[in-house]
Structure 1
Amino acid sequence: MKWASAISEQPELESAIDECAASLRNQLDGSPANLAVVFASSHYSHNYEAIPDLIRQALRGEDDPPMVLGCSGGGIIGNGQEVEQRPALSITAASLPDVTLTPFHLAGDSLPDLDAGPSSWEELLKVSPTDAPQFVILADPFSFPVQNLLMGLDFAFSGAAKIGGLASGGQQQNGNALFLGNRVHRSGAVGVALHGNITIDTVVAQGCRPIGKPMRITQSRQNMLESLDGETPLTILRGLYPTLNERDQGLMRNSLFLGVVMDEFLDDPQQGDFLIRNVMGMDDRSGSLAIGEMLKEGQLVQFHLRDADTSAQDLAAVLDRYAGDNRENQAQGALLFSCLGRGQYLYGRPNHDTDLFRDKLGSVPLGGFFCNGEIGPVSGTTFLHGYTSSFGIFRPRL
């Protein structure tokens, strides 16, 4: 297994692909590219249709051309570099001699019913749980029910890593591009199942820190949070506010989130055990909150805050934890799916997350893009996130 990543800011598409291909060939040092993951900014939108074939030709060796997977992006990541608001194209390529790649394109109306059995999902994706597949998924935010796909994949392929993001760069339906093989799709979802001598480790940084203490939901209705430990959420927040410093009081007013513990057997949750969801609104009369997630009575929750410093600390913490758990560091390549709201918009400078990744894990080839939503697991269940950096780290299984 060998990975490589390259990025180009050449404004002409063919020049950008040629520049990336030359760098990739040098990094792969004669190993054939079996997979090429491409992300292209909207500056190339008039030429999206040409991208798959140009890459297949540029990276074709003596063997077959690589499987192309990718999409358009509002910001592009390649070779550990983040490029926003400028033309950029990145290709992350891999030589995978002991890995089988099974590509798929899904239309929104092609998904099995949520009460369908696992075999329906196996038939749809042409892979079996006995293959122990890992998934990279890219979807169009305007046309595809990605949460239904993630629920189905978790049901049929529990324990399998699922990582990815929602295409960006387009402002309306059919404005994004999804690349698969030699085709360009304007809707649905594309992806690849990888099985054989490969593992995808997932690292998800949601960029928040907890305030107060964990509490049980004692009353809820759909996404309405009505009672915590027998008190209204508004009462809890009014009691919490004076205990915070001035900076955190400001964040509570403007950047308040709810963390939901997804592992029902977890009584002492740590940072990273929470699914972070928006506080969407407040009812002053009842003291209840509208949350961007369906809630259940008995769930453990905790309020969270987010800002640039918190996001940086959270990412450092989860990468430190991963590095500590994987001291041999067999990582060969990685993909980063980061929110459009991160990057320069959040940190005031480029390359924050990629620099931190390099500091913690070394010079692992890293590509990716800034997404309209990020796919990654929390406590073993796969979710669609916002404001998140979701890493897929590739290493040999054996």
Structure 2
Amino acid sequence: MTSPRFASAWASASGWEDALQGVLASLPRLPQANLGFLYVSDHFAFALDPLLNRLRQHTGVQEWIGATGVGVLGREGAALDAPGLSVMLGAFPLDCFRVFSGRKPLPRDFSAYAALVHGDPLTPDMSELVSDMSHKIRGGSLAGGLASARQQAWHIAEAPLTGGLSGVAFNDRIQMLTGLSQGCLPLPGSWHVTAAQDSLIERIDGRPATEVFREAAGPALGADLRRAVNTLLVGLTDDDQDRRQFAARRIVAIDLRSGKLAINESVSKGQSLLFLKRDEEAARQDLLQMLHDLRDACPRPPAGGIYVSCAGRGGIMFDSDDAEVSMIREVFGDIPLAGFFAAGEIAGSRLFGQTGTLTLFV
């Protein structure tokens, strides 16, 4: 493995030129930088072309990837629903990476081991596209997220793009480690779906799904199912032994007469599930646990990182927009960092929602 080197800067300002000047003024010089990561508030989406041109002129880095977001973040802070820029430069060994997109597919002679990707949230069947992309990567590991915006979302791979996926693939000389925090903790108990149709869970362990849900929620929440639906989630899992390996899914409807629950994903008979609690305390505890697990997995101190947080997190879930950045600094110190608030988060071979993913280069 070869360790790359990084430098980053973040700035929030009402105009894109002022934000860019703030970034350039605080961006450390990085000799041999050859890849740039750019995250742009959707307030500045109209200026993506001049931003890329100015960054190329100032840094000498010609290849860039990134995305727009309804907020951006860096090691200095974060701002959701506010204008800003986040930039990170990377100095990688030659021939260790390839930038790709629908316009410029990965070359057949490049042995991709891992990839950092961004995508258009309006692309149909994005979950399948992410899974398909993971099978093209020898290590099977993706990280990244979907661009977000109040109007048109853009992702970047040398130029602004819409539709599909783009990003950068690395060979096995570059080591990337990704941690996923879903912002929730399992309630006691685990169950199996015994009757289901598409996204409707009809029976759990042979009983009406709503009956099991009410019991799992406990006396207080069980007495107010409307509040319970807004507080609790369903965790789908293939591993009955590891209660942290689950995909959190929202409960979108509940029918007391039929005893059915509807969630935002198809379910099959025999599927294992948990019920999950999501609130600030659970989200903070889960994020810190993920960060500590990731630190323990690092063979050496990380050189830099990319953090992608859901647009429904930040100050909506925590006490401030930069709470997650502060926790990353608490565990990993003042490492170069860039990222954005996304419309969906990517880790491994799956697309998630309401999560935070930290990818470290070690």
* Alpha-carbon distance between aligned partners in 1 of 2:70 and 2:306, rounded to the nearest angstrom: 16
C-alpha separation between the residues in 2 aligned to 1:240 and 1:170? 37
Q: CA deviation at 1:3?
A: 0.9
Report the residue type matching 1:364 in the other structure: I
In structure 1, what is the Cα distance between the partners aligned to 2:361 and 2:223?
39
**2:300 is the counterpart of 1:320:** no
Q: Once superposed, what is the RMSD of the aligned Cα atoms?
A: 2.4
Is the contact made by 1:338 and 1:388 (CA closer than 8 Å) also made in structure 2?
Answer: yes
Distance 1:34 1:48 in 2: 19
Cα distance between partner residues in 2 of 1:310 and 1:322 = 18
1:96 corresponds in structure 2 to 92
Inter-partner Cα distance in structure 1 for 2:88 and 2:257: 53
Q: Secondary structure at the match of 1:355?
A: helix
SS state of the match for residue 101, structure 2?
A: strand
Quote how far apart the aligned CAs of 1:256 are.
Answer: 1.9
One-letter amino acid matched to 2:157: L
Match of residue 391 from structure 1: 358
Once residues 272 and 357 of structure 2 are traced to their aligned partners in structure 1, the CA distance between those partners, rounded to angstroms, is 23
TM-score (norm 1): 0.83
Partner of 1:204: 180
- Are 1:138 and 2:118 matched, yes or no? yes
Instruction: Give aligned-pair identity as a percent.
Output: 27
Matches within 5 A, 1:322-341: 322-326=294-298, 328-341=299-312
State yes or no: 1:150 paired with 2:109. no
Task: Kindly state the Cα deviation for residue 236 of structure 1 after the two structures are TM-superposed.
Answer: 0.7
Q: Calculate the TM-score normalised by the size of structure 2.
A: 0.91
Which of 136, 142, 155 is residue 178 of structure 1 equivalent to?
155
Pair 187,153 (structure 1): closer, same or farther in 2 beyond 3 Å: closer
Specify whether residues 166 and 15 from structure 1 end up closer, same or farther in structure 2 by C-alpha distance, changes over 3 A only.
same
Q: Given the alignment of the two structures, is residue 346 of structure 1 paired with residue 317 of structure 2, yes or no?
A: yes
1: CA distance, partners of 2:329 / 2:39: 20
Aligned partner of residue 126 in structure 1, secondary structure: coil
Once the two structures are superposed, the pairs formed by residues 16-31 of structure 1 within 5 Å of their partners are 16-26=19-29, 28=30, 31=31
Shift in Å, 1:251? 5.3
Counterparts of 2:10 and 2:301, CA distance in 1: 24
Partner of residue 232 from structure 2, selected from 256, 264, 282: 256
Residues 353 and 125 of structure 1, relative CA distance in 2, 3 Å threshold = same
2:107 is the alignment partner of 1:126:
yes
CA contact (8 A) 2:222 2:228 kept: no
| CA 1:200–1:170: 2 relative to 1, 3 Å | same
Contact 2:134/2:141 (<8 A) preserved: no
CA contact (8 A) 1:216 1:229 kept: yes
**Are 2:216 and 1:240 aligned?**
yes
Partner SS, residue 207 of structure 2: coil
Give secondary structure in 1 for the equivalent of 2:48: helix
Tell me if structure 2 keeps the 8 A contact 1:39–1:72.
Answer: yes
Deviations 1:109-155 (A, max 9, x none): xxxxxxxxxxxxxx953256x82421111111123532121121233
Q: CA deviation at 1:320?
A: 1.5
Secondary structure of 1:125's counterpart equals: coil
What is the aligned counterpart of 1:67 among 46, 63, 66? 63
User: Is the 8 Å Cα contact of residues 165 and 337 (structure 1) preserved in structure 2?
Assistant: yes
Equivalents in 2 of 1:44, 1:131: separation in Å? 35
Q: Quote the residue 1:269 is aligned against.
A: 242
Per-residue deviation, 1:250: 8.0
Name 2:256's counterpart in structure 1. 284
Aligned residue-pair number: 359
- The gaps in structure 2 that reach 5 residues or longer are none
